[in-house]
A and B are shown apart, each in its own frame.
Chain A
Amino acid sequence: MEPTPTEPLRPNPDNLLQAIAGAEACERGHRGRLKIFFGYAAGVGKTYAMLEAAHVAQEHGRDVVVGYIEPHTRPDTLALLDGLEQLPVREIPYKGITLREFDVDAALARKPDLILVDELAHTNANGSRHAKRYHDVEELLYAGIDVFTTVNVQHLESLNDKVSATTEVVVQERVPDRIFDYASSVELVDLDPDDLIERLESGKIYRPDRAETALSHFFSAKNLAYLRELALRRTADRLNRNLERGLGRAAGDAGDDVLVQVSPSPGNATTIRAAARMAAAYRGTLTALIVEPTSENKLAEDDARALHANVELAEELGAHVVTVYGDDAALQIAQYALSGTISKIVIGSSENRRKRALPFLPARETVAERLADLSCTADVVVIADRHEARPTSGPRLASRFKPTRVDLAAAFLVLLGATVLGLAFHEIGLASSTILAIYLVAVLLGALKADTLVYSVIASPLAVVLFNFFFVAPRFTLSAYGINYPFTFAFLLVTSIVVSSLTIRTRRESAANARKAYRTEVLLETEHRLQEADGVDSILSTTAEQVIKLLRTTVVIYQVAPGGKLLDPSLFSSGNPDENVTMTDLVSEGETAVAAWVASNNKRAGTGTDTLMDARCLYLPIRGKGGVVGVAGIVVTDEDLDAFEKNLLLVMLDECGQAVERERSTEDAHRIRMQAEQESLRANLLRSISHDLRTPLTSISGDASILLSSADALSDEKKRAIYTDIYEDALWLVNLVENLLVVTRLDNGTVSLKTEPELVEDVIREALHHLNRKAALHDLRVQVEDPLIMAQMDGRLIMQVVINLVNNAVTYTPEGSRITVSARRVPRGKRRGAPGLVAVSVADDGPGIAPSERPEIFTMFYQGKNVGGDARRGMGLGLALCKSIVEMHGGTIGVDALPEAERTDPDRPGTVITFTLPAVEYTVDEGTQAEKDGEAARGNAASEGNASAAAKAQKGPAAIDDEGSPHGERD
C-alpha cells in the first residue's frame, strides 16, 4: 500500500521558506514566541540555563521580567535572579497553607517583551483562571509576549506511559505535545547522569533526607539513562517533524492515517497516546472514533466521565473526534475505516477481548478478528494496555430485562387471545398441534411489540403452561406425558427471544438514526435560516434558537463589536425547567467577565473547560475571519455534550460567525457609500450655498440701507413693499436654515434618526403651519383616510419632507392651483401579514413634469424649467433631501402624473409625489372603544379643510394660532 519513493524526499527549499515566512508572519503579527528549556530530570540545570539566557536577552535591550521561579530552586540559580525584574506572585490560601502561583493577570498588565515562567507542567491551584500553567503560557503568547519556560521529558503527554512503565513512577502533570512541537525553539539542557547523581548526593538538588529517597526511586542510574535517551530522541524527533512541515505532504505521499476507538475503559488513555505517537511517526492524521450504542440507556456516570476525559485527551493530542452509532463496535470501526483513508487501527488489548454473551459460552472472537472478517484492509495494531476488560456495565444489562408495563400487558393479552381462540378451535375439534401453532403465532406477534426481552421470558413459558393446562391430556392439570413438553418449551422460548431481540435492535437503531437525522436537519435549517436573517441581531437570535433546538439549553449571546468590545448580552431561554438557573445569574458580572475573556483570547472557557471552570456556562467564541464577532454561552446541564453535538454546535457557531462577518462587511460597505454620498452632498451644498445665501442677503441689506438713508423720500406704499421684501427674504432664509440643519443631521448617518410612532395626520397638519407664504394663494387640501394612521418616523424630518414637497408644489404651479396632501395605508409587497406601509402623497394640478425628467427631480440641485417669478429661490436641495430622509426611514419616494379622473384641466397632467413609511400597527388596551371611535371618525375622515387650511397657512411660518389673527405684519 505504501508508496516507496524512488529517492529520499528532500525538503523543498521553497516550501521551507514559505513555512518559515508563514511562521514568522504569524509570530510577528501578534503571537509571542515560546522557548522551552528541556531536560530529562530535575537538577540538570534548566532554570539556570533559562536565567542565563534571560540575562543575555536583557543585555540586548529587551524588556525581561521573571514571572515565576520555583521557590525550591538552588541558591546558585537564585543568585542569577539579581538584576532581573520579578513579578510578585499570587498567594492563594489553601487549607491553612498559602500556595504561591504565577499571576497571569499581573503579567498581562505588565506586558513585557519576554517573561520567564518556570515549570510548564505545573497544575494551578483551585480558583486560578486556568487549570494548567501551560494554559497561562498560551494566553501570554496569544497576547504577544515571548515566554521562556522549562519542562522535563516525563511531563510530555505522549511519553507519559513509557516513562511510567519504565520508572514505575506515575507522572500526573502532563503537557500536550503540540506545545512542545510548536514552540519557536527548544533548548536541550543535558548533563551526564553520573554528574547528576553526584549533584544529587551532594545535596544540590534535594535536601539530604529527601535525596536518598529520590536516589533509590526515580534517580536510579538506569532510569536516568532511559530518561536521557527519551529526551534526546524526542528533541531529535521534534526537529524531524519541523523539517517535515517544510516538506509538505506530496499528493502521492499520504501518511498513514490512524484510527483509535475512544471508550470509557481505563486502558483507553494508553491506547490513545500510543495511537497519537504512531500517527506522528507515520506522518498521518489521528481520528478518534466514539462508537455510541444505539440503546437509549445512558452510560453510567463514572463511565461518562471517563469517556469525556478520554475524548479530551484525544483532542489534546490533535485527534479529530468522530461519533458513530451502532451496537457492534467492530462493524462501525470497519465501516468508518473503509469510508476514509484509514490505514492503521489501534485497539487496546482490553478492548480487543470481547465479553462473552453468557458465562457458559466460549469466548467470542476478538475485535481484531472481527475486523479481519469484515475484510477491513487497514492494519490492526493491538496495544497492551495492562487493564482488565471493562466489566459489562450493570445497569445496561439489567435494563434490558426490566419489564415494562407494555410488555406485561402484551404478554397477558396475547396469551388470553390465544387461549380463547384455542378453546374455540378445540371445540370444533382441531388437533392440539394446530392450537400450539396459535400460541406460537401469538407469542411472536407480541414479541414484535415488546420493549424488552423480558416479554419473551414471561410469555414463552406461560404459553407452554397454558397450552399444557388447557389442551394437553389430562386437560386442566399441569401434568403432561411424553418428551414433547420440554422441546416445545425450548422451541417457543428461543424463537420468541430471537424475534424480540431483532425487533428491539431495529427499533433502537432507527431511533438513533432519527436522533442523528434530527440534528443534521437542525444544522441544515440553521444554514438556511442564517441566509435569510437580516441584520446582526437577527443572525444571533436565529443561531440561539437553533442551538436551543439542538441542545435544549438556555443560551446567552454576546455580540462583540469590531473593536473587540463586548456588547450587552441577549438571553434566549430554552424553557427547560431542569436547568435550575436564574436568568440574572447568567448575565452576572462574573459570567460576563468569562465571556469577555473568551472574546479577547478567542478560546473557549467556562464550565467543562480548563479555563475559568467555575462559570455557570460554557462559553464559545463565535469566529469570523477577522476575529471573534460574538460569544455564545451555553448552560450545560448535568451531562456533557457528546462529540457529535459538540461538532454540530461548533459548525453552527462558525456559520453564525461567517454570517455576522458578511453582514458587517455589507454594513461597512453601506456606511462607506453613505459617507461618500454625504461627502458629495456637503461639497455640492457648500458650493451652491454661497450663491443662495448671497441673493436674499443682498436684497435684505440693500433694502435696509435704502430705508436708513432715504426713508423720508419714500412713499408709504413703497416703504411697505420694501418691508415685505425684507420680511419674505428673511423667512426664506429661515427655511433654508431648516434644510441645512437637516443636512447636518443626515451627516451623522442613521444614528441620529430617532423614530417614534407618530400620527401621520398630526405631522401633516403641523407641517402645513410652516409653509412658504405663497402657499396662501393656492387651494390647499388635506385628505387622510383614517386619522389613526400611524407611521414609524422621525417627526421633525418627515415634517420637513412634507414642507419641502408642498413648497415645491407651490413654487412650480400657478396661483390658485389645487394642492392635496393625502395619506393612506398600503400593503407592503405581496407577502401576506407583512407589516404595511403608509403612503403620503402631495398632488398638484399644475403643468406637470415630463416623464423623461421625472427621475431627475430627486437629484441634487436640479431645477425645473418652467419656474415662475421665484426662480432664483430654487437651489434644488429640497427634493433631494426628501429622498434621503425617506430612504433613511426605509421608505421610497416617486413621482407620477395625476390620474386622468382627478385632473382639473386635460392639458395640465399635474404632479403627484408619493413617499412611503413603515406603518405602525397598534392595539389599544382599553376595550373596543378606540375601534368604534375609529369607525365613527372614518365618516368624516376626508376633511374638507381647504378654506381654513389656506387661511391658517396665511399666517406665516410657525405662527401659533391662539388668537383670531396674527399681528400686524400685513395691514
Chain B
Amino acid sequence: MANATEGNNAAYTVLIVEDDNAVKSLIATALKVQGYRLLEAGTGAAALLEATTKNPDVVILDLGLPDADGVDLIRQVRTWSRTPIIVVSARTEDADKVAALDAGADDYLVKPFSVEELLARLRVATRRLAADARDDEDGPVYENGDLRIDYAARTATLAGEEVHLTPIEYKLLALLARNTGKVLTHNTILKEVWGNALASDLPSLRVFMATLRKKIEPDPAHPAYIQTHVGIGYRMLRK
C-alpha cells in the first residue's frame, strides 16, 4: 500500500525545519522512503530563505529553533503563502499548540511522535493541496466522501440525502469544510460562528458539534469527518 502512494508523493516537496540532526534525519529517511522530495533547514533564517526561493508544498516546522520563535515564523510565512504548515514540537502545553494554530499552522505533532502518525498528517496536508488544485474549497460546491455542501443554497447532503441542519450547525460545518485538513482552535470557531471568543460559549460549541456529528457521521462514536483535538479544537478530514 505504501508503494501505491509513492508515485504521487514525488510531486510534493517538503521543507523540514528542525535543528536536531537526529530527528531531522529520522524525518528525512521516513519521507524519502515515501518518495517525497526534501528540503532541509536548521535555522529560522534558512527556513525563510528556502520557503521564499524554493516554494515547498508542505512545511514541517520545529517550534524550538535556535534563532527564531517558531510562532513568529508561521506568522511571517502566512503573510504571503497558504502552504500547509505542520508544527512539530516538544512543548506540551496546550497553549503553545493553540498559539501556533492561531498563528496559521495547519496541524501539530508533539514529540515523541510515531513515524506513521507524521506520514498520516502529511497525507492530510497533501490531500488538501490536491483538493485545492482540483476545485478551490471556496468554490460553490464542496465534496468530501459522501458529504456534499452547496454553499450557495446553504444545504448539505449525505450520500444524496439532505441533512437538516440548524443555522449554527450549518455555519460550523461550512467553516470546517472550508478549512478541511486544518485544525481549527476553539477560539477561531467561536469567533467565526458566534462572533466572539467568549469561553462561556464553549459548552454550546460542544453541544452543537455533538449534534452536527450525529447528523453527518455514519458512526458518531468513530467520527470519519470531524476529528476532536482535546483541549485544542476540531478538524475536518478529507475522506
Partners in one complex: yes
Q: Which residues of A contact B (CB under 8 A)?
A: 730, 734, 737, 741, 754, 756-759, 761-763, 765-766, 782, 787-788, 790, 794-796, 799, 920, 922, 924-927, 929-930, 933-934, 936-937, 943, 945, 948-949, 952, 956-963, 965-969
Q: Mark B101-120, 1 if CB is under 8 A from A, else 0.
A: 00000000000111111011
Complex CA–CA separation, A758 to B117 (angstroms) = 25
Query: Please, which residue of chain A has its CB at the minimum distance from the CB of B238?
Result: A962
Contacts of A961 in B (CB 8 A): 222
A126 CB to closest chain B CB, in angstroms? 46
B231 lies within 8 A of A756 (CB): yes
Contacts of A930 in B (CB 8 A): 207-208, 211
Q: Is B221 an interface position by the 8 A CB rule?
A: yes
A966 lies within 8 A of B94 (CB): no
B47 CB to closest chain A CB, in angstroms? 25
Contacts of A757 in B (CB 8 A): 202-203, 206
Contacts of A787 in B (CB 8 A): 210, 214, 220
Partner of B2, one of A925, A937, A967: A967
Which residues of B in the span 1-16 have a Cβ within 8 Å of any Cβ on A? 1-2
Known A734-B112, A762-B230, A952-B222; judge A933-B214 contact (CB<8 A).
yes
Partner of A962, one of B112, B208, B222, B237: B237
Query: Please, which residue of chain A has its CB at the minimum distance from the CB of B30?
Result: A967
Complex CA–CA separation, A945 to B238 (angstroms) = 23
Partner of A968, one of B2, B227, B237: B2
Complex CA–CA separation, A643 to B95 (angstroms) = 53
5 A-B pairs besides A757-B203, A758-B231 with CB distance below 8 A are: A762-B230, A959-B116, A959-B120, A960-B120, A962-B123
Contacts of A958 in B (CB 8 A): 113-114, 117
Partner of B120, one of A737, A924, A963: A963
A967 lies within 8 A of B206 (CB): no
Contacts of B25 in A (CB 8 A): none
Which residues of B in the span 105-143 have a Cβ within 8 Å of any Cβ on A? 112-117, 119-121, 123-124
Complex CA–CA separation, A966 to B119 (angstroms) = 10
B91 CB to closest chain A CB, in angstroms? 11
Known A790-B203, A920-B203; judge A927-B230 contact (CB<8 A).
no
Contacts of B206 in A (CB 8 A): 757-759, 762, 788, 790, 922
Contacts of B237 in A (CB 8 A): 962
Q: Mark B185-213, 1 if CB is under 8 A from A, else 0.
A: 01000000000000100111011111100
Q: Is B168 an interface position by the 8 A CB rule?
A: yes
A945 lies within 8 A of B221 (CB): yes
Complex CA–CA separation, A757 to B228 (angstroms) = 14
A945 lies within 8 A of B204 (CB): no
Complex CA–CA separation, A40 to B231 (angstroms) = 77
A754 lies within 8 A of B2 (CB): no
A924 lies within 8 A of B112 (CB): no
Contacts of B121 in A (CB 8 A): 960
A124 CB to closest chain B CB, in angstroms? 48
* A-B CB contact pairs (8 Å), 25 listed: A756-B199, A756-B231, A761-B210, A761-B221, A762-B206, A765-B228, A766-B228, A766-B230, A787-B220, A790-B203, A795-B94, A795-B231, A796-B231, A799-B230, A926-B168, A926-B208, A930-B211, A937-B211, A952-B222, A957-B114, A959-B116, A959-B117, A960-B120, A966-B116, A967-B115
A731 CB to closest chain B CB, in angstroms? 8
Q: Is B92 an interface position by the 8 A CB rule?
A: yes
Contacts of B220 in A (CB 8 A): 787, 943
Query: Please, which residue of chain A has its CB at the minimum distance from the CB of B181?
Result: A962
Partner of B214, one of A754, A936, A963: A936
Contacts of B120 in A (CB 8 A): 959-960, 962-963
Contacts of B202 in A (CB 8 A): 756-757
B228 lies within 8 A of A762 (CB): yes
Q: Is B81 an interface position by the 8 A CB rule?
A: no
Complex CA–CA separation, A789 to B206 (angstroms) = 10
Complex CA–CA separation, A930 to B205 (angstroms) = 11
A969 lies within 8 A of B94 (CB): no
Interface residues on B, range: 35 or more
Q: Is B166 an interface position by the 8 A CB rule?
A: yes
B231 lies within 8 A of A794 (CB): yes
Contacts of A762 in B (CB 8 A): 206, 228, 230
Known A765-B221, A787-B214, A952-B222; judge A754-B207 contact (CB<8 A).
no
Which residues of B in the span 27-43 have a Cβ within 8 Å of any Cβ on A? none
Contacts of A927 in B (CB 8 A): 166
Complex CA–CA separation, A790 to B221 (angstroms) = 16
Q: Is B167 an interface position by the 8 A CB rule?
A: yes
Count: A-B pairs, CB below 8 Å? 118
Query: Please, which residue of chain B has its CB at the minimum distance from the CB of A965?
Result: B1
Query: Please, which residue of chain B has its CB at the minimum distance from the CB of A741?
Result: B92
Known A734-B112, A933-B214; judge A922-B230 contact (CB<8 A).
no
Complex CA–CA separation, A796 to B231 (angstroms) = 7
Contacts of A959 in B (CB 8 A): 114, 116-117, 120
Contacts of B112 in A (CB 8 A): 730, 734, 737
A929 lies within 8 A of B211 (CB): yes
A933 lies within 8 A of B119 (CB): no
Contacts of B123 in A (CB 8 A): 962-963
Contacts of A945 in B (CB 8 A): 219, 221-222
Give the residue among B94, B112, B113 with the most A Cβ atoms within 10 A: B112
Give the residue among A759, A920, A949 with the most B Cβ atoms within 10 A: A759
Query: Please, which residue of chain A has its CB at the minimum distance from the CB of B222?
Result: A948
A930 CB to closest chain B CB, in angstroms? 5
A924 lies within 8 A of B210 (CB): no
Contacts of A934 in B (CB 8 A): 211
Give the residue among A788, A794, A937, A962 with the most B Cβ atoms within 10 A: A962
A795 lies within 8 A of B222 (CB): no
Complex CA–CA separation, A799 to B117 (angstroms) = 19
Query: Please, which residue of chain B has its CB at the minimum distance from the CB of A737?
Result: B112
Contacts of B228 in A (CB 8 A): 762, 765-766
B15 CB to closest chain A CB, in angstroms? 21
Complex CA–CA separation, A963 to B222 (angstroms) = 13
A270 CB to closest chain B CB, in angstroms? 62
**Top 8 A-B pairs, shortest CB-CB distance:** A922-B203, A795-B230, A795-B231, A960-B120, A933-B211, A967-B116, A757-B203, A943-B221
Complex CA–CA separation, A754 to B123 (angstroms) = 32
A370 CB to closest chain B CB, in angstroms? 66
Query: Please, which residue of chain B has its CB at the minimum distance from the CB of A756?
Result: B202
B221 lies within 8 A of A925 (CB): no
Complex CA–CA separation, A957 to B109 (angstroms) = 13
A557 CB to closest chain B CB, in angstroms? 23
Partner of A924, one of B119, B204, B230: B204
Contacts of A795 in B (CB 8 A): 94, 230-231
Query: Please, which residue of chain A has its CB at the minimum distance from the CB of B121?
Result: A960
Complex CA–CA separation, A962 to B221 (angstroms) = 15
Contacts of B95 in A (CB 8 A): 754
B132 CB to closest chain A CB, in angstroms? 17
Contacts of B186 in A (CB 8 A): 756
Complex CA–CA separation, A734 to B115 (angstroms) = 14
Contacts of B203 in A (CB 8 A): 757, 790, 920, 922
Complex CA–CA separation, A962 to B202 (angstroms) = 27
Q: Mark B74-99, 1 if CB is under 8 A from A, else 0.
A: 00000000000000000010110000
B76 CB to closest chain A CB, in angstroms? 28
Contacts of A758 in B (CB 8 A): 206, 230-231
Complex CA–CA separation, A782 to B220 (angstroms) = 13
Contacts of A967 in B (CB 8 A): 1-2, 115-116, 119
Known A737-B112, A927-B166, A962-B120; judge A788-B230 contact (CB<8 A).
no
Partner of A929, one of B1, B92, B116, B166: B166
Complex CA–CA separation, A788 to B213 (angstroms) = 12
A776 CB to closest chain B CB, in angstroms? 15
A922 lies within 8 A of B166 (CB): no
